[in-house]
Chain A
Amino acid sequence: MEFPKVLVIRHFTEVLGMRYTGEQGEVLWFEDGMNRVAVGLYLSELYEEGELYKRVAALAGLEASKIYLAVLPEGAVFVDPRFFKSQGVGLVVVDPSRGVDGVEVRIYAKARQFQAAGVDTGKLAEAVKASVAEYLREQLKALEASITEKVKRYIDQRLEELRRAAPPAQEPPRAVQEAGGSAVLDNEWVRILRSRGR
């Protein structure tokens, strides 16, 4: 019964694009993105309806987002499609005689809620509190920085306006500072002109 199993693994990985993560007894495990998918194998020469539904019940107890049951064509006749569909269980029929084309997903499984492991609510509350506090701290810091920046820019602007409006007397403007490239005091003409009329 190894060959049909290989066919199932190949179909789920290569055709459906899931990642094979291993097997437990007669259950193959895959990962479809964040979802865990369980495929129960019931590959027998002789099928029993009771056994088939037992296996479905066992699969339903697993922590999987989607569950499939894989059977040989002979087993498919025992499947009640309405039950499978209503329960969201997928059905895979494997026909080893057809080789790689022999795997057919007759019914696609629906995503299901499985009972997650018990969570420590106290711990969870702590974690949420911590992350909210961290987020608030970051936001406050950003707000503070942006206000400081705005105030700084406003003050700089006003100062610049003031400076432009009234150039300080101690600092002669460039027109005078750089007459021919030298400061006003170095410009000989200032001394010469000052002495006129005396």
Chain B
Amino acid sequence: MITDAYRLKYTFGVDYGTSYVKYGPISLNEPRVVQTRGLFLRDLPESVKMRIPPDVLSRGLVVGDEEVRKYLSSVRDVQRNLKYPLRDGIARRDDEDAWRVLRELARYTLAQFPVSEPDFKGWIVSIALSALAPDYMYRSIFDIYTELSDEFKIHAVTILPQPLAVAIAENAVNCIIVEGGHGNIQVAPISFALIREGLVALNRGGAEANAITREILKDMGYSDIAREEYAVEVVKRAVGLVPRNLKEAVRAAKSSPDRFVAKVRLSPVVEVEFPREYAWTRFLIGEIVFDPNHEEIKSYIEQSRLSIENAVIGDVTLYGEMDIATAVVTSLKNVSVEIQERVASQIILSGGAFSWRVPPGLEDVAVDSVTRVKIALEERNPVLASRVNVRLVSEPQYSVWRGAVIYGYALPLTLEWSDSTREGWYYPKKNI
């Protein structure tokens, strides 16, 4: 008999994010974090092979930040052998390497928490996947945990969509979760469960902000720095601004550019300077996430220097150019009219694409993500804007994991997994 006390001890949450996997039992205050990547030990010189433990060598693959770093210099073709299995939170069905990395990550995360207590009957694993994850991903994840169930004693496994986990962590039963990731933005209406019909995805996110930062750097003469993703990310975080209104912000930056010039020190020897004539471009970096439909941004697209297009994952279309307010309204339109008002009562923003700050002194033209979304909604639909409460999640990095463990703790174990409702528990032992 599995009691509540048992579940408070042995529920294990895993959040498979595109960049990081957050994992750990419910008893932790904060989950552990590991990069979502694996290094294949192929093309190794014989002398290096001799130094690698036989069990690692036989698996041919390592995961874990320390472990990957340890072998990185030994592998000849890092580009080919360092694998990031998830793109926009999705692993392709036929990408065997990606699935091998995910299997190894699943093993690695469980192996970090060995249990020897006599009362241990097996982990109750709760996994958070992207809301866009197609059916085959659910199947394959269950297969992985079935494979591992003997090695690590797994009692039951469930999968929930990441926006639902955020809503649970935020204790919001009726809301719209806007999850802004690196590759895409998902707008997910929630009313006691995820309303899949209302799911709207944008093929935009932090990556597009990086892309436009890269182009601006090239224009300013920093082509060498623009090649390094890390440097671009640092510059974006340091200088990127979200405008209250792009046209007015650009006008202000062009009329008094001295207020907006900025310097970023990347290393003791490298410094990037946004000079007076480029100071206004700082607003494009933030704005592209919320609304790319501006002449200033379109000119980059027309010159083929940026690509913002629709994409299809499974049966979901990811819109390239749709602005945030339209996405929220479109999502809401697909929710039953009866509950629309309740669902629209709060919009919760989560994810790294929404972490923008306002430098002191620029409050008249720059805003944070919450204000920007409010302004966009007011322009698009003032009635909706007057009734909605927009806020940011309290713990952007860990809220999905926290929601996953609470879900794992509360969902009745008698409820068996159903492919149609995508809810319930999958019992690996029954399915071997």
- Contact bitstring B401-413, A, C-beta under 8 A = 1, else 0: 0110111011110
- Contact bitstring B384-419, A, C-beta under 8 A = 1, else 0: 000000000010000000110111011110110000
- Contact bitstring B160-196, A, C-beta under 8 A = 1, else 0: 0000000111111100000000000000000010000
A residues contacting B by CB (< 8 A) are: 165-167, 169, 172-176, 179-182, 184, 186-190, 192-194, 196-198
Assembly CA distance A172 to B406 (angstroms): 11
Tell whether B8 is near chain A: CB-to-CB under 8 Å: yes
Query: Assuming A173-B29, A175-B402, A194-B410, is B8 touching A188 (CB within 8 A)?
Result: no
Please determine whether B27 and A179 come into contact, CB atoms closer than 8 angstroms.
Answer: no
Q: A169-B9, A180-B172 are in contact. List 6 more A-B contacts (CB 8 A).
A: A165-B117, A167-B9, A175-B26, A180-B170, A187-B406, A192-B192
Please determine whether B412 and A196 come into contact, CB atoms closer than 8 angstroms.
Answer: yes
Q: What are 22 A-B pairs at a CB distance below 8 A?
A: A165-B117, A167-B9, A167-B27, A169-B5, A173-B26, A175-B13, A175-B26, A176-B8, A176-B405, A176-B409, A179-B171, A184-B409, A187-B168, A188-B171, A190-B410, A192-B173, A193-B407, A193-B411, A194-B412, A196-B415, A197-B415, A197-B424
Tell whether B215 is near chain A: CB-to-CB under 8 Å: no
Please determine whether A179 and B403 come into contact, CB atoms closer than 8 angstroms.
Answer: yes
Shortest CB-to-CB span from A43 to chain B, Å, is 81
Assembly CA distance A175 to B407 (angstroms): 11
Q: Which residues of A contact B27 (CB under 8 A)?
A: 167, 173, 175
Residue among B9, B403, B410 with max Cβ neighbours from chain A (10 Å): B410
Q: Which residues of B contact A197 (CB under 8 A)?
A: 412, 414-415, 424
Shortest CB-to-CB span from B373 to chain A, Å, is 20
Please determine whether B28 and A179 come into contact, CB atoms closer than 8 angstroms.
Answer: no
Shortest CB-to-CB span from B343 to chain A, Å, is 15
The chain A residue sitting closest to B406, CB to CB, is: A179
Shortest CB-to-CB span from A160 to chain B, Å, is 14
Residue among A176, A189, A198 with max Cβ neighbours from chain B (10 Å): A189
Please determine whether B28 and A193 come into contact, CB atoms closer than 8 angstroms.
Answer: no
Q: Which residues of B contact A169 (CB under 8 A)?
A: 3-5, 8-9
Please determine whether A182 and B171 come into contact, CB atoms closer than 8 angstroms.
Answer: yes
